[in-house]
C-alpha cells in the first residue's frame, strides 16, 4: 500500500491572494480520497499545483516517490498522474470518437507522429482508436461513438471526460467536480463507472467535489480545505461530525439542504 502522493507545506500566492497556504496531505495508493471546502478554498489551485499547471512558491509534491513540483504537466501525466478540469468542455461539433482521439494526440511523445511514415502512423492511429473504443465501452458511451459530442447530456460529457483522461494510461486521476451539473440518476451511473475503472486499471482517485452525500458514500478518506489550507482530514463519518468542519463549511450546506 503506502502513499502514492505526498503534498507537503505547499504554498502559492497570486498577487497577494493566498490560494494555497502550507497545504499538506497524503493520498493512499488505491484509495478514493476527496477534498471538500467552500468556494475559493484553494481546491482547484491545489490541483493546478499537483498537475504542474502552476508551480508552488514553496513546498514539495512527490508522486510515486518522484518530486514533481517543478515538472511540466506533460511530464507529470506521463508519470501516470492525470487530471480533469472543473467544467471541462467538449468540442460539440466533433464526434465523441474525435473528441477522445484529440486528447490522445495531446499526449507527450506524439510530436514523434510527424516523423513516422504514413503506414506506421496509420497503425498508431488504429491502435489509438481501438483503445478509445474500449474506454468508451467501459464508461458506457459506445453507442455514441459517432454522435456529435454536442448532443451529450452534462453527465454523459463527464463520462467522455473520464474516457479522455484514461487515454493517457493513468495510475492516479484527479477529478475536479466530477458530479457538478450531473442529474442525480447519472451521478449513480458515474459512481459505478468510477468503481469499474478503478478495479480494472488499479487506479487511485483524488476528487474535489461539493456533492457531500456522494463524497461521504464513495470516499475512503476526506480532506477539508479552507482559506488555502487543510483544516481537517479523516474518515467520512468523522468529518461529518467534526465541529471545525461544520463551522467552516458543512453548517451552511446542511442548512441549505
Which of 1, 14, 93, 111 is the binder for ligand ATP (CB under 6 A)?
A: 14
Q: Is 40 in the site for ligand ATP (CB under 6 A)?
A: yes
Return the number of the residue (54 or 145) whose C-beta is nearest ligand ATP.
54
CB of 39 to ligand ATP, least distance (A): 3
Residue pointed to by grid coordinates 441549505: 256
Q: Does 42 help bind ligand ATP (rule: CB under 6 A)? A: yes
Q: Which of 33, 44, 77, 219 binds ligand ATP (CB under 6 A)?
A: 44
Q: How far apart are CA 235 and CA 248, in angstroms?
A: 18
Would you say 94 or 216 has its CB closer to ligand ATP? 216
Burial class of residue 195 in the structure, from the number of CB atoms within 10 Å of its CB (0-12 exposed, 13-18 middle, 19+ buried): middle
CA dist 47 → 41, 66, 130, 247 (Å): 12, 17, 30, 24
Least separation in angstroms between CB 58 and ligand ATP: 16
Which lies closer to Mg ion via its Cβ, residue 149 or residue 211? 211
**Pairwise CA distance, residues 192 & 171, whole Å:** 18
210-227: b or e for each residue (b if 16 or more CB lie within 10 Å)? bbbebbbebbebbbbbbe
The entry of Mg ion, ligand ATP, none near residue 14 (CB within 5 to 8 angstroms by kind) is: ligand ATP
What burial class does residue 170 get, using C-beta atoms within 10 Å of its C-beta: 0-12 exposed, 13-18 middle, 19+ buried? buried
Among 31, 34, 44, 99, binds Mg ion (CB under 5 A): 44
Residues 75-104 as x/- pattern, contact with Mg ion by CB under 5 A: -----------x------------------
Interacting residues with ligand ATP (CB under 6 A): 14, 17, 19, 37, 39-45, 86
Interacting residues with Mg ion (CB under 5 A): 43-44, 86
Amino acid at each position: 500500500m503506502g502513499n502514492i502522493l505526498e503534498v507537503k507545506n505547499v504554498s502559492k500566492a497570486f498577487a497577494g491572494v493566498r490560494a494555497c497556504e502550507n497545504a499538506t496531505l497524503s493520498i493512499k495508493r488505491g484509495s478514493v480520497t476527496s477534498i471538500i471546502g467552500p468556494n475559493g478554498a484553494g481546491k482547484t489551485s491545489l490541483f493546478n499545483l499537483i498537475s504542474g499547471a502552476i508551480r508552488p512558491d514553496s513546498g514539495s509534491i512527490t508522486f510515486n516517490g518522484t518530486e514533481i513540483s517543478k515538472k511540466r504537466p506533460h511530464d507529470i501525466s506521463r508519470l501516470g498522474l492525470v487530471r480533469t478540469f472543473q467544467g471541462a468542455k467538449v468540442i460539440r461539433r466533433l464526434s465523441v470518437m474525435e473528441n477522445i482521439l484529440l486528447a490522445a494526440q495531446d499526449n507527450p511523445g506524439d510530436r514523434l507522429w510527424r516523423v513516422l511514415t504514413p503506414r506506421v502512423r496509420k497503425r498508431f492511429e488504429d491502435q489509438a482508436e481501438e483503445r478509445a473504443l474500449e474506454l468508451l465501452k467501459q464508461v458506457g458511451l459506445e453507442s455514441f461513438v459517432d454522435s456529435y459530442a454536442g448532443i451529450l447530456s452534462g453527465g454523459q460529457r463527464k463520462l467522455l471526460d473520464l474516457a479522455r483522461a484514461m487515454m493517457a494510461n493513468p495510475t492516479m486521476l484527479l477529478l475536479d467536480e466530477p458530479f457538478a451539473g450531473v442529474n442525480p440518476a447519472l451521478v449513480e451511473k458515474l459512481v459505478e463507472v468510477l468503481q469499474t475503472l478503478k478495479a480494472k486499471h488499479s487506479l487511485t482517485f483524488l476528487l474535489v467535489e461539493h456533492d457531500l452525500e456522494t463524497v461521504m458514500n464513495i470516499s475512503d478518506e476526506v480532506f477539508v480545505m479552507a482559506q488555502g489550507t487543510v483544516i481537517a482530514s479523516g474518515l467520512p463519518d468523522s468529518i461529518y461530525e467534526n465541529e471545525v468542519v461544520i463551522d467552516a463549511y458543512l453548517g451552511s450546506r446542511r442548512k441549505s439542504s
